[in-house]
Amino acid sequence: MSTVFLRRLSRWQAETEREDLGDLYAEAHRDAQGAEASTREAFIRHFVDHDVQQPEFDLVVAGDPALVGCAYGFRAERGGRWWDGFDDPPTLVGELAVPRQVFVLAGLMVVKRRRNQHVATRLVAQLLARSTAPLALAAFPSGSAPAHEAFRSWGWSGPGRLTPRAGDPLEIWAKQR
């Protein structure tokens, strides 16, 4: 197996590479929900129109040299506009009540052929390395056993719950930094 290299992309580069990131999304989610074009397009639209526009957006990609994974996120001030998309405050041990700033790990994906090779672990560590927020938060659909196990093994606290105004509740995990 060849070596996987990590690199950061700027906000502008992330927007420029959106089609490749959409392909990565489709390939990484193929087993879980099929590789429907509408799902890929919905990911790209949300990624460019929402995630990339957030304060202190950051993205790390993994390649071998083809794109095999990525992790991205942004800073969310307590009471800021990102939280407006949810009906209720997060439910998780008292950790979320304390910090004013939270780094939201908004996306993490690795293609199947590169899973169980510590690519996700390296992506998350590299992504969080530049953040100065005292707390990192990851939110994803409930019932994802691989994600649940990964965050537990990385020492994150959880699971808690966050309910979007539109959609199903999300499972959340937090890590004090």
Domain residues of the chain, as ranges?
5-176
Going by C-alpha positions, the residue among 24, 85, 13, 4 that lies closest to residue 52 is 13
Per-residue confidence band for 147, with pLDDT thresholds at 50, 70 and 90: confident
Alpha carbons 135 and 103: distance in angstroms, whole number: 6
Tokens of 32: 């879980």
Instruction: Sheet containing 135-141: give its strands across.
Output: 5-9, 58-63, 67-77, 101-110, 135-141, 170-176, 157-162
Q: What is the pLDDT of residues 1-53, one digit of tens each?
A: 679 999 999 999 999 999 999 999 999 988 665 455 568 999 999 999 999 99
- Residue 165 CA to residue 66 CA, distance in Å, equals 36
pLDDT of residue 34: 47
Specify the pLDDT at position 41.
Answer: 94
Which residues are registered as beta bridge partners of 170?
Answer: 141, 162
> CA-CA distance, 19 to 17, in Å (whole number)?
6
Q: Which two tokens stand for residue 117?
A: 């090779």
What the block records as the tokens of 45 is 């639209």
Instruction: Report in angstroms the alpha-carbon separations of 65 from 4, 104, 124.
Output: 7, 27, 19
CATH of 5-176, one of 3.90.550.10, 3.40.1050.10, 3.40.50.300, 3.40.630.30: 3.40.630.30
> pLDDT for 75-101, tens place per residue?
987 767 777 777 766 655 445 555 568
